[in-house]
Amino acid sequence: MSPDLPAPAAAEPPSRKTMRSWLLPHVQRSTARAVALVLTDTLLFAAITSAVVVVPSLWLKLLLGVLSGLVIGRLFIIGHDACHQSLTSRSRFNTIVGRAVFLPSLTPYSLWETGHNVIHHGYTNLRGTDFVWAPLSRDEYQALSPTARWRERVYRSGWAPGLYYGVEIWWKRLFFPSARYMPTRRAVFTRDSAAVLAFALLWIALLLSTARLTEQSPALLLVAGFVLPQLVWNSLIGFVVYVHHTHRDIAWHQSKAQWLAAQPFVTTTVHLRFRRWLGVDIGAALHHIMEHTAHHVDMRIPLYRLRHAQQLLEQRMPGRIVVQDFTWRWYFKTAKACKLYDFDRQQWTDFDGRPTATTSSTTVIGAAA
C-alpha cells in the first residue's frame, strides 16, 4: 500500500511504526513557539488572579475564578506536552517548564509522568493496568459496599467528572500517594508533592494577606481566587480524560493479547470535535488536546502540530478512527450507556448488567449520536 493512499477499511490495519512514519513531519518542535505559549498562558493566569483581587463585583470575581480554572487547564496541557518531551527538543528545558506550569493545577510532575506516560499510554484501556476511568464489570460492582456503589453511580452520572478526578486520580495517585496506589517509592515523588503543597500554601497565604491589606472578605478571595479555579480545573480535566476514552464504540480489554490485536493506539481513543462557540475555536482554546488519536500514535508530536497530524491519520485510515461531534446530548447519552463493562462480550452495560452498546472501534462517527 502506498503511504499516500488511505488504508481500505477492510484491509489489515497499518502498524504503529507505519503510522508514525506518516507523522514524522509533524514531530518537529519549536522552542520559540513553546516559550511563547508558556509566557502567554502564565501571564494570563497571573493577570486573572490579580484581577480577582482588584475587581469590586462579587459576580466578576466568581467569573474570573472560572476563567482562572480554564487557564490552569491550558497551562496543564502545556505541561503535559513538556512531560512527554514533545514541547521542545530540549529535554532539560521540557522538565523545568513542565514542573513550573504544573504547579497551578497542583500536579506533581514525576507522579503524573509515571501514571500517565508509563501506565496510561503504555496500556491504554487494558483492564487491571490502565486506571483512568476504567469501568467495572458487573461482578466487581456488585462486590462493592453500598457506599462504594453509590460513589460509582455519582462518578458515572456525567455530572461529577471533577469529583472523580479530584478523588480517584489527584488525591489517591498524585498527591503523596500511599503504597497501595503507588507501590514504587521514590524520593522525587515526595519532593514533587511537597513542591505542590508549598505552592498551594503560598497561593492561599497571598490571597489571605491581600484580603487583609485591602479590607476584603478573606473567604470570598479564597473561594474566587483558589477554590473555584481548582474546582473548574478538576472538572475540566475529569471531563477531558473521560471523553478521550469513553464512547459506545470504544472497547476495553481484559487480556494483553486481545488488547494488542485491537491496535490499541488507535482504537481506544476518541477524536472529539467542537463547534465554534461565540466565534471561539474550542479545540484551539484547549491547545488541541482533543486531537487525541494522533497523540496516542506518537507522543512526540507537539500540541501546536496535533491538528494537522490528526487530519492526516483520518485521511489515511478512513473508517478506523472514532470521531465524535460534541453535544451535551451526546455526552449524557454516553454517560447513561457507559456504566459498567462486560469484558467477555466487549459491550457496555447499565448498572444492572443490561447491554447498552456493543463496542466496534472501526466506525467513524460523523455527527452526535
| Neighbouring C-beta atoms of residue 333, cutoff 10 Å | 17
Residue 279: the pLDDT is 79
Give pLDDT tens digits for 30-49: 999 999 999 999 999 999 99
pLDDT per position in the chain (369 positions), as tens?
444 445 555 467 788 899 999 999 999 999 999 999 999 999 999 999 999 999 999 999 999 999 999 999 999 999 999 999 999 999 999 999 999 999 999 999 999 999 999 999 999 999 999 999 999 999 999 999 999 999 999 999 999 999 999 999 999 999 999 999 998 889 999 999 999 999 999 999 999 999 999 999 999 999 999 999 999 999 999 999 999 999 999 999 998 888 888 888 888 999 999 998 877 889 999 999 999 999 999 999 999 999 999 999 999 988 889 999 999 999 999 999 999 999 999 999 999 999 997 655 444 444 444
Indicate whether 363 belongs to any domain: no
DSSP class per residue in 185-238? --HHHHHHHHHHHHHHHHHHHHHHHHHHHHT--HHHHHIIIIIHHHHHHHHHHH
Indicate whether 367 belongs to any domain: no
Indicate whether 8 belongs to any domain: no
Nine-digit cell string for 139 = 461482578
Nine-digit cell string for 111 = 507522579
Indicate whether 368 belongs to any domain: no
Indicate whether 9 belongs to any domain: no
Indicate whether 260 belongs to any domain: yes
Structural domain harbouring 75? 16-358
Residue 362: the pLDDT is 42
Indicate whether 364 belongs to any domain: no
Indicate whether 6 belongs to any domain: no
Give pLDDT tens digits for 154-201: 999 999 999 999 999 999 999 999 999 998 889 999 999 999 999 999
**Domain total of the chain:** 1
| Neighbouring C-beta atoms of residue 113, cutoff 10 Å | 18
